[in-house]
């Protein structure tokens, strides 16, 4: 069974981090975290992140823990 979760993510270092989509759509492969959406819970300080495609500038919002899924996202621009 392939590994689906990568290394632990540091919520404090998410802003402006770079990500590569494993299965790009519409030539959108490289993304940058442009916004970190915080929750009011001290247990889970981050709720979501906004990723912006470098090529098209389209933005998507997703749960920040989705970035740990190695079947969807790889850290850095590869």
Residues pairing with 53 in the sheet:
31
Residue reference for tokens 């959406």: 37
Q: Which residue has the higher pLDDT, 54 or 40?
A: 54
Distance CA 76, CA 53 (A): 13
pLDDT reading at 7 higher than 60: no
- At 28, give phi and psi (nearest 5°): -95, 100
Alpha-carbon distances of 65 from 26, 51, 77, rounded to whole Å: 24, 13, 19
pTM: 0.85
Average pLDDT, integer, range 29-57: 93
| Residue 1 pLDDT level (bands cut at 50, 70, 90) | very low
């Amino acid at each position: 069974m392939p590994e689906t979760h990568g290394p632990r993510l540091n919520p404090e270092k998410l802003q402006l981090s770079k990500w590569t989509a494993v299965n790009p759509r519409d030539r959108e492969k490289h993304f940058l975290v442009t916004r970190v959406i915080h929750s009011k819970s001290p247990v889970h300080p981050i709720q979501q992140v906004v990723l912006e495609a470098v090529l098209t500038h389209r933005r998507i919002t997703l749960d920040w823990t989705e970035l740990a899924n190695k079947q969807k996202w790889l850290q850095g621009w590869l």
